[in-house]
Amino acid sequence: MADSQDIVVMGVETSCDDTAVAIVRRDADARYHVLANVVWTDHGDHALFGGIVPEIAARSHVERLDWVMEKALREAGIAPGALGGIAATAGPGLVGGVLVGLTAAKAFAMTHETPLIPVNHLEGHALSVRLTDEAPFPFLLLLISGGHSQLILAEGLGRYRRLGVTIDDAAGEAFDKTAKLLGLSQPGGPAIEAAAKTGDATRFRFPAPLARREGCDFSFSGMKTAVRETAIAAAPLSAEDTADIAASFQAAVARHLAAQSRKAMQSLSLAEDQRRFVLAGGVAANTAIKEAVENLCKEEGWRLTVPPPKFCTDNGAMIAVAGAERLAAGLAPQMDEALALAPRARWPLAPPLEGGAIGGGRKGPKA
């Protein structure tokens, strides 16, 4: 398919613990309509181990995926043969889970003679904003999830440049580890956000990492250590202490993300109408972080677009969008090429501007 016709695409996402399938329609004006968006989240078994266990996640995808695919088709009222394409995450991620989703998508593509588009999970996050907004290229993307924290200049489909990346933990990982330390539930981000609601964000001042260093990389391990030391010093923690630590930690993360994003904005000489900032990834669901980025964008004169929370956390719709964009641009691989593709644990979306950064394309267990 070479131009913009109406097309319906299924997206399959299994790179972490969510089994997610969505069906979206891309109309002739390149606008998206989500016909079904099914996410099966199974945190139960993992909680026993204090974090995501890759084998449990993979087994759970095997058990659920057929059912989730059928439910998505039923909700969308679409027959399999009416799909113009099936997109599946091919990496980066927990390789067992990616294998399950990609294999199911291959089988589906062969059975129904539907084009198969293997998708980079990070490109899915990058384009998730198009489910609800236009977001033309170029835009500066702050991608913050359980496995990634990156600042990326999205110049075009498949054309991404990385301006900054975490040198230790990902932002979501820091939320998850801090929640564990405070005895809160997993996933840690929503638990910390809920605890922080009644907390005093000014009671503790956690460090501002890499403030004096050039560039716009991220670091969260120092903050995590500071939280641990504070929690030990204040033990036993009252509910108020926990709320104050959660609020102060969340504020420190928000300040750090905004500070490094400001450096990235200032390093780009973009015309005013090209100053578009996009948030993506599970951590972008956080209200305090959204507010910090909103203020930053006001101060720097950038337009901000944030997908709604259900499209920030892992979902099949963002994978379907990436697949549909590739189909529309004539960038979908031939069937034999797509069938030969192996799942990839590592798959950096954007080459770093300078080499050597840690954590560029890896997504591991979240806690």
Q: Does 149 bind Zn ion (CB under 5 A)?
A: no
165 or 327: CB nearest ligand KG4: 165
Shortest distance, position 78 Cβ to ligand KG4, whole Å = 25
Shortest distance, position 285 Cβ to ligand KG4, whole Å = 4
Name the binder of 97 from Zn ion, ligand KG4, none, CB < 5-8 A by kind: none
CA–CA dist 315, 346 (Å, integer): 19
Element (H, E) at 192: helix 188-196
Measured on CA atoms in the order 294, 296, 298, 304, is the torsion positive or negative? negative
Segment contacting Zn ion by CB under 5 A, of 140-148, 241-249, 268-276, 291-299 = 140-148
| Ramachandran bin of 285, using left for φ above 0, alpha for ψ from -120 to 50, beta for the remaining angles | alpha
Shortest distance, position 5 Cβ to ligand KG4, whole Å = 31
Question: Which phi and psi (to 5°) does residue 366 adopt?
Answer: -80, -20
CA–CA dist 319, 298 (Å, integer): 30
Question: Which phi and psi (to 5°) does residue 349 adopt?
Answer: -75, -40
Shortest distance, position 266 Cβ to ligand KG4, whole Å = 26
CA–CA dist 172, 284 (Å, integer): 10
- 168, 193, 241, 314: which one binds Zn ion (CB under 5 A): 314
Q: What is the dihedral of CA 4, 98, 173, 137, to 10 degrees?
A: -20
In single-letter form, the type of residue at position 351 comes to P
201 or 332: CB nearest ligand KG4: 201
Nearest to 29 by CA among 153, 136, 138: 136
Shortest distance, position 176 Cβ to ligand KG4, whole Å = 5
Where along the sequence are the contacts to ligand KG4 (CB under 6 A)?
Answer: 16, 145-147, 172, 175-176, 187-190, 193, 281-283, 285-286, 313-314, 366
Q: Does 145 bind Zn ion (CB under 5 A)?
A: yes
Q: Does 13 bind Zn ion (CB under 5 A)?
A: no
244 or 314: CB nearest Zn ion: 314
Nearest to 158 by CA among 129, 126, 134, 115: 126
Name the binder of 13 from Zn ion, ligand KG4, none, CB < 5-8 A by kind: none
Shortest distance, position 193 Cβ to ligand KG4, whole Å = 4
Applying CB under 5 A, the residues found at the interface with Zn ion are: 145, 314
